[in-house]
Each structure stands twice: as structure tokens, then as C-alpha cells.
């Protein structure tokens, strides 16, 4: 018999299933191999004591047993896909621990841990393992007081655990390679996880230099392709290679005799997998360090709150340089207040205050200058120049952005907006709320016409730049490495990073600033190959902000410790564990009532979730979208579908010209105006649906406490979806009256004004409609 883990995601199937092993498969059906089994057959069809039928699913044999606890008929293994044992006991235990930690299923975790099989790579033999290297010299680790001792502990076979705050500069990849070499010298393996492929290539090059060439380590990234990646994964699983450096998926690499697990820049969001159960590489490596009894090294230029917690509770020790070394390695940091930028005449032309402009001009005589811009694109956020209202798409209400100097495009639906005007004030001029990297490069090119300008961002990421004068405009995380270091760096629009509505806004802003500033030549060293003068970093942000002060002092550890203390008082993560549940109100209430929460657990909510903005792609945690034609949707009653018959061209033209031919526009709204205390006033109005005001005449019906006589009413213009403008809300009557307009169609079909909805109507100032008075588009999804 064989106990099989079926590759099926639901939690209620997260258990082992017994299958009979045919005699012809007995030799190959070993624990850890891939198999295919029939699942969901039931007991209705049994032949020769074996179940038949059901769908074919992939799975893994976990163990072989003599007999099953199940007394009914069993299904037999359909196929042994490969005799290669890929799921060992250590990897299985790790995946089980990750599934329990994140409340997921074991099958979901295995889908993240196991690469896809490639028959050609599996048929190739792996080379024999090389003998352990000699222990390396400390090298640049000597700059840290505890650095040489940490390497000696790894070489002896001990299990040291440290949180390493790396010094700025180009030395940290080689320091990672030295720690891996010290672990290999003890006869054990090492695993290092980095956030992206560019960082992995830097560490890979340093490992090849320290270890003396290829053969002792492998690089595992998504860029390798499925065949080459599986070939390298098999070399690790078979024990041919004992050192691995890679991106997020490498955290499950089956390294034999693991002696060190390490992670670089654990605050990067790339370390968190987007697929269920969304494990974080830091937590997975912590589990490996505990279960496999290995050393642990968390390295970063800064320090996250989670890393500060490891130091505070004594699980890991800090590995830091003294203040003299920090001052020598770090560049000079200068701040510019946003108020000074607004008052500076020089900043109007190129967004650079006088201090920044002088710094760039002087640094360009000595080498390249880095300019970090928080947002990519040309102008990613626009607003009305007159009233500062954000510019929105007329189709889906998404934010408009300028991808170049000529075109406006919606950021959600991608439609062009050639004739935009403000819905609030009617203005037609726009201003840039946020300026992107490409627009910044364009402005800097005009300010420094003799200097080449290069950009690095999501569409095109530069790896390195030569050591000659140039302006390098980059978004956070895409900064290229300069040969010899940058002569200066500008950190623009600091408010954009600090102002995000996120618990980690300050921590992430400081991390991005430290990464950019670490590429600048050290203030005390002058940079490798430089002229002896260090670099300068100018940050444009409020100097009193705590992340800005931490950057000026180059004290990320102090900032993380204070942030951890404040979260401890409030009970925020990582002090507490939080889980969010999203779903229908009845299902959420039932789950809360039936869940066995531990003692002291606090339940917040449930609270209603606002509907996502129209046109925006659905994100995890969003409430479910209502189906078209439902009874109620986002507070709006659905509209009846328009007749299939379309009006003639003449009639459609008459509707469009309704402002000038009001009596022939085809519909008449009735308006009931409430005067408040005086009583009711019934006002009949004729309102055009085209580009012109409608004119109404009202006569009060007694009893009223106001003037008896005609009331003139002006109806505003509407901006409805579809080909023609829509009906409008009308401010009618005397005193405090609000009119409610409803179109009455005579011989003109309702399709003459298609898709009218209340949230698009704009009439006379002060006009508004009551909740539920609008309508969703006929035959489509709710726009809200």
C-alpha cells in the first residue's frame, strides 16, 4: 500500500489517501516519487477488488505501509511518473510547517516548493560533489567587531544567529560569499535568498570569485527557464551542490546538511509570494533554522521591525559596525524642506532647489549622479489646475495619467481622453500632482543640456553605469550600480513615499533611501577610484520626519527599535498576529462564531467593505462584485434594459439638439420641489438633454407661505455615459427646495439617452440625488 498526497488545493482534502500498489510498480513506487492517481471514483464501480473511475490527479508518495486502515476497496496507482525521489522527509516537514504557520493546505505549499518536472533534465546525471573548501579570510568582515567571530563559528560547525546591518558600499555581496564559504568549509550547505535577479547575479559573481569558480554553488532564479532551473534543482536535491543563492522560490531548495540560511533585504515585498498561502521568505527561513538546526543570518542596509524583534527577544544577536566605520562608509546627507522648494525660483524650471542644483553641477565634474523618483511614467497623477480636483476618466472614473506630453490615458481602462474637462468647475487645464521618472528626466535634460540622461525603471532596468558624468534617473529598487560609486544622489518627492496610507510607509521610505544612498561614494573613503572626496545625498522631504532623521544619522537600527516600541504599545504586528477574513456578512459571522480562537484573541468588526472603484481590477480582499440584474447593487437600483429598436438618425439628431429645440426633445421631467415649512410646490419644467439649458415655468399650489406666481427654473447640463448627455438633477422651487428630475419618454424610445446613472449627473450647484435614485447600466456590470 502507498499513502499519497494528492495535488488538490481544498483544505478538507489536506490529508493522505491510501492506494494499492500494482506489482509492476512496486520497485519504482518509493516514498518521494511523483505519481498519478484516480480521485473521486466512489464505491459505485469496483472491479477485482479495486475502485475504478474518477479523474486523474498528480500526487506524491509519502510512505509505504503494509496494510491500510480503510477496510473498503482501494483504487490502484495509475502511474509512477518518475522514479526520481523529489519529496524528501526534510522538505515534506518544512512544507507541513509552512502550511500550519499560514493556515494553508500542504498541497498549496508543495506547488510553491516543487518545480515542474522536465524529463530531459531528469535523465541527465549530476556531477559528484566537490570537497569542502578552506576557511576564508575575514576580509571586509573585519570592519564589524563581531564579524570574524561569526565566520569562525560557521567554520567550526556551530549555529550562530545574527541580524546584520551592512555598511554602505559595494562590499556586501562579497561578505555574503565569505559567510557561505565559511559554512561550506565545515562540510555543510548554505542557502541565501535575495529579492530580485539583479541582486542574485551580484552575489553569484562574488561566490564564483570566493569559491574559485563554478561547481560549488548554483543560482536559482525564474530567468533560467524551466529545464535549466530543474536541472540545477536536481543537482541540489542529489547532493552534488551544497550552496544555493536565489530569489523567493529558492527558500524551499532541498540543500543537504544545511548549516546556514540567510536572507537579504527582508523588507522587500518581493519576498512575499502572491500565491496561496502567501508565505514570506523570512518566515520560511526562520522555520528552517529552527527545524533543521542551522545558523541564521538576516542582512540588510537597514532594519525591519521584524528583525528588530528578533534582536530584542534575544533569538538573534546584532552584527553592526561602530559609529566611526559608519561615518567613514556613509555619504554626507543634506535635507531640503518642501517649503523651501516652493519658495525657490530655481525649482520652478527643473524641480530642483538651489542646493540640489549646485550639488548636481559640482558632482557632475567627478562622476555620475543618481536621481531617485518615487513614481514611474511621465505624469502618473493629474488634477484640475483651478480647483485641484483629481482628473478622472469619463468612462470608468479611473485616474487619468499622461504617458507623454500629448496624450491623456485612463490608468484603469486604458482609454484615451482627448477632450477632458473638470466635472466640478468646468476647467480644461491640468496640473501635475505627481511627476514621474520620464518627465523628471526630460526636465533635467533641459537644465543640463550637455550631460547625458539615462533612465532605469520597470520597463528597462539598467544593471550598471560607467564612471563618467551622467544623470541617472531611477525609480526605487531599479538603481543601477555605478563603477566607483556615484558622486551624488538626489532623492526627490520624499512626501510621496512618506504619505502612503500604509503601516510600513516610513520603514519602506527609509529602506529605499538607504539603498540609493549606499551607492554613493562614502564621505570618509572618497569612493573606489575616486579623487578622495566623498559623495553627497540631497533628500527633498520634511527634515523633522523620523525616517529623514534616521537617514541623516544613518541609524536604521534605532529607527526600527523605536518603531517596534510604538507598535508594542498599540498591539500592532509583529507584536500581534492578525488575520483578515472577507466574505458575505452571514458567512463571516458564522466563521467567527464557530472558530476556536485562543484566549486573549481580539475580534475587530465585522465592518462593511466599500465597493472597489469602477474599472479597477479586482484585488485580494475586495468584496465580491454584484452580478448584473441583481435586486440592489451598491445602493443603486438596476435600470430596465433599453429596447432593441434604435431611433432613426433624424430623431437622434433631434435629441442631441434638445437644448435649442426643447419642445421637441422627446422627454419632459417632472419636478416635485419641497419648500420645507411653507408646504409643497409643484413645478413643471421643460429641460433639454443637449448642450443648452432647459427653461421651466412653475405655479405654486395652495396652501403655501410664499409668493404666488411663476417661478423660473434653470436646469443644468448632464454628462451621462453613452452617446448623448443624460438627464439632470434640477434645483427648483423657492427657499430650501431640491428638485428630483425623472425623464418621461413619449414617442422617443428610452435608448435615446442610454446608460443614464445618478452618480454621473451634474446640475445646478447644490443639486444632489437621494441614495438609490440612480441606475446601473442596462445589461452591464455595476459601475460602482
* N- to C-terminal Cα separation, the chain: 56
Nearest-10 Cα torsion for 253, 255, 258, 260: -50
d(CA 770, CA 441): 48
Q: Which residues are registered as beta bridge partners of 616?
A: none
Q: Rounded to the nearest 10 degrees, what angle do helices 556-570 and 546-553 cross at?
A: 150
**Could you tell me the three cell numbers for 111?**
506547488
Sign of CA dihedral 176, 178, 181, 182: negative
Establish whether 387 is an annotated binding residue: yes
- What is the rounded CA–CA span in Å between residue 498 and residue 607? 27
Q: What is the CA radius of gyration of the chain?
A: 33
Q: Are 258 and 188 in contact (CB under 8 A)?
A: yes
633 annotated as a binding-site residue: no
Alpha-carbon distance 162 to 144, whole Å?
A: 12
Q: What are phi and psi of 508, to 5 degrees?
A: -65, -40
Burial of 12 (0-12, 13-18, 19+ CB in 10 A): exposed
Phi, psi of 36 (to 5 degrees): -125, 135
727: closest CA among 737, 717, 714? Answer: 717
What is the rounded distance in angstroms from the CA atom of residue 156 to the CA atom of residue 132?
13
Q: In whole angstroms, give the CA distance from residue 428 to residue 42.
A: 68
* Separation CA 752–CA 722 (nearest Å): 9
Specify which residues 473 forms β-bridges with.
371, 455
Distance between CA 164 and CA 511 in Å, rounded?
15
> Residue 729 in contact with residue 744, Cβ under 8 Å?
no
Cell of 306: 521584524
Residues 496, 374 contacting (CB under 8 angstroms): yes
Are 338 and 540 in contact, with CB atoms under 8 Å apart?
Answer: yes
Cα gap 692→455, rounded to integer Å: 49
C-alpha cell belonging to residue 702? 395652495
Q: How many degrees, rounded to 5, is the angle at CA 619 between CA 618 and CA 623?
A: 75
Answer yes or no: is 384 a known binding residue.
yes
Residues whose CB is less than 8 angstroms from the CB of residue 297 and which lie 6 or more positions away in sequence, other chains included: 150, 161, 162, 164, 179, 260, 261, 262, 263, 319
- What size, in residues, is the chain? 784
Q: Are 244 and 190 in contact (CB under 8 A)?
A: yes
39 bridge partner residues: 55
Cell of 694: 432647459
95 is in an annotated binding site: no
CA 9, 11, 17 angle in degrees (round to 5)? Answer: 80
Q: Is 422 annotated as a binding residue?
A: yes
From 199, 174, 202, 179, select the one nearest 189 (Cα to Cα). 179
Kindly tell me the sign of the dihedral angle through the C-alpha atoms of 404, 405, 410, 416: negative
776 is in an annotated binding site: no
In order, the DSSP letters of 740-760 are: --B--BSSS-GGGSTT--GGG
Question: How far apart (Å, rounded) are the C-alpha atoms in residues 471 and 486?
Answer: 10
CA-nearest of 393, 395, 389, 428 to 408 is 393
How far apart CA 775 and CA 458 sit, in angstroms, is 40
Binding residues: 384, 387, 393, 396, 410, 413, 422, 425
Binding residues for Zn(2+): 384, 387, 393, 396, 410, 413, 422, 425
Amino acid at each position: 500500500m502507498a499513502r499519497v498526497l494528492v495535488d488538490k488545493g481544498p483544505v478538507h482534502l489536506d490529508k493522505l489517501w491510501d492506494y494499492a500498489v500494482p506489482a509492476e510498480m512496486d520497485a519504482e513506487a518509493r516514498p518521494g516519487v511523483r505519481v498519478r492517481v484516480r480521485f473521486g471514483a466512489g464505491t459505485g464501480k469496483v472491479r477485482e477488488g479495486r475502485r475504478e473511475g474518477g479523474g486523474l490527479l498528480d500526487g506524491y508518495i509519502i510512505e509505504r505501509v503494509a496494510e491500510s486502515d480503510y477496510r473498503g476497496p482501494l483504487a490502484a496507482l495509475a502511474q509512477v511518473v518518475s522514479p526520481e525521489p523529489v519529496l524528501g522527509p526534510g522538505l515534506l516537514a518544512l512544507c507541513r510547517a509552512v502550511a500550519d504557520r499560514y493556515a494553508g493546505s500542504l498541497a498549496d505549499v508543495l506547488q510553491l516548493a516543487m518545480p515542474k518536472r522536465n524529463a530531459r533534465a531528469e535523465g541527465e546525471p549530476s556531477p559528484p560533489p566537490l570537497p569542502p573548501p578552506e576557511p576564508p579570510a575575514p576580509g571586509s568582515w573585519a570592519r564589524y567587531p563581531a564579524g570574524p567571530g561569526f565566520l569562525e563559528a560557521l567554520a567550526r560547525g556551530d549555529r550562530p544567529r545574527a541580524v546584520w546591518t551592512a555598511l554602505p558600499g559595494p562590499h556586501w555581496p562579497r561578505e555574503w560569499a565569505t559567510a557561505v564559504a565559511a559554512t561550506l568549509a565545515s562540510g555543510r550547505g548554505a542557502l541565501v535568498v535575495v529579492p530580485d535577479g539583479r541582486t542574485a547575479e551580484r552575489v553569484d559573481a562574488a561566490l564564483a570569485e570566493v569559491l574559485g569558480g563554478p561547481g560549488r554553488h548554483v543560482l536559482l532564479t525564474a530567468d533560467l527557464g524551466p529545464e535549466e532551473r530543474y536541472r540545477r534543482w536536481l543537482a541540489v536535491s542529489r547532493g552534488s551542490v551544497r550552496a544555493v543563492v536565489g530569489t523567493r522560490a529558492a527558500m524551499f531548495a532541498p540543500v543537504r546538511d544545511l548549516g546556514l540560511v540567510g536572507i537579504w533585504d527582508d523588507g522587500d515585498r518581493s519576498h512575499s509570494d502572491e500565491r496561496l498561502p502567501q508565505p514570506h521568505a523570512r518566515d520560511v527561513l526562520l522555520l528552517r533554522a529552527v527545524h533543521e538546526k542551522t545558523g541564521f543570518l538576516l542582512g540588510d542596509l537597514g532594519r525591519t521591525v521584524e528583525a528588530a524583534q528578533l534582536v530584542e527577544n534575544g533569538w538573534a544577536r546584532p552584527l553592526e559596525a561602530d559609529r566611526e566605520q559608519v561615518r567613514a562608509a556613509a555619504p554626507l546627507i543634506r535635507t531640503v524642506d518642501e517649503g523651501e522648494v516652493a519658495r525657490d525660483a530655481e525649482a520652478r524650471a527643473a524641480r530642483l532647489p538651489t542646493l540640489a542644483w549646485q550639488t548636481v553641477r559640482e558632482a557632475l565634474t567627478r562622476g555620475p549622479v543618481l536621481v531617485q523618483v518615487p513614481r514611474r511614467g511621465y505624469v502618473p497623477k493629474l488634477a484640475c489646475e483651478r480647483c485641484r480636483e483629481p482628473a478622472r476618466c469619463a468612462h470608468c472614473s479611473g485616474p487619468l495619467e499622461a504617458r507623454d506630453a500629448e496624450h491623456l490615458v485612463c490608468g484603469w481602462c486604458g482609454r484615451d481622453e482627448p477632450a477632458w474637462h473638470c466635472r466640478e468647475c468646468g476647467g480644461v487645464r491640468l496640473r501635475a500632482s505627481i511627476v514621474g521618472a520620464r518627465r523628471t528626466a526630460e526636465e533635467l535634460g533641459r537644465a543640463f543640456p550637455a550631460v547625458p540622461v539615462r533612465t532605469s525603471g520597470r520597463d528597462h532596468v539598467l544593471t550598471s553605469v560607467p564612471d563618467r558624468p551622467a544623470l541617472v534617473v531611477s525609480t526605487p529598487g531599479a538603481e543601477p550600480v555605478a563603477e566607483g560609486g556615484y558622486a551624488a544622489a538626489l532623492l526627490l518627492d520624499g512626501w510621496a513615499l512618506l504619505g502612503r496610507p500604509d503601516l510600513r510607509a516610513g520603514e519602506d521610505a527609509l529602506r529605499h533611501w538607504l539603498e540609493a544612498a549606499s551607492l554613493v561614494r562614502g564621505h570618509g573613503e572618497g569612493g573606489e577610484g575616486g579623487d578622495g572626496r566623498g559623495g553627497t545625498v540631497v533628500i527633498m522631504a520634511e527634515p523633522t520626519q523620523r525616517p529623514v532623521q534616521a537617514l541623516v544619522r544613518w541609524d536604521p537600527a534605532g529607527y526600527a527599535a523605536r518603531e517596534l516600541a510604538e507598535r508594542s504599545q498599540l498591539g500592532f504586528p509583529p507584536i500581534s498576529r492578525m488575520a483578515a477574513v472577507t466574505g458575505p456578512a452571514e458567512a463571516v459571522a458564522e466563521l467567527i462564531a464557530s472558530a476556536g480562537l485562543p484566549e486573549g484573541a481580539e475580534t475587530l468588526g465585522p465592518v462593511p467593505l466599500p465597493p472597489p472603484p469602477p474599472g479597477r481590477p479586482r484585488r485580494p480582499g475586495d468584496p465580491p462584485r454584484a452580478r448584473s440584474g441583481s435586486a440592489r447593487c451598491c445602493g443603486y437600483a438596476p435600470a430596465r434594459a433599453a429596447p432593441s429598436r434604435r431611433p432613426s438618425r433624424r430623431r437622434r439628431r433631434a435629441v442631441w439638439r434638445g437644448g435649442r429645440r426643447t419642445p421637441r426633445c422627446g422627454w419632459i421631467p417632472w419636478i416635485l420641489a419641497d419648500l420645507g415649512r411653507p408646504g409643497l410646490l409643484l413645478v413643471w419644467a421643460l429641460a433639454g438633454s443637449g448642450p443648452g439649458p432647459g427653461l421651466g415655468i412653475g405655479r405654486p399650489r395652495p396652501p403655501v407661505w410664499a409668493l404666488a406666481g411663476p417661478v423660473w427654473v434653470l436646469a443644468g447640463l448632464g454628462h451621462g455615459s453613452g452617446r448623448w448627455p443624460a438627464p439632470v438633477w434640477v434645483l427648483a422651487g423657492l427657499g430650501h427646495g431640491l428638485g428630483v428630475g425623472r425623464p418621461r419618454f413619449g414617442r422617443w424610445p428610452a435608448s435615446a439617452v442610454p446608460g443614464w446613472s445618478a452618480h454621473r449627473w451634474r446640475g445646478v450647484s447644490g443639486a444632489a440625488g437621494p441614495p438609490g435614485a440612480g441606475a446601473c447600466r442596462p445589461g452591464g456590470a455595476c459601475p460602482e
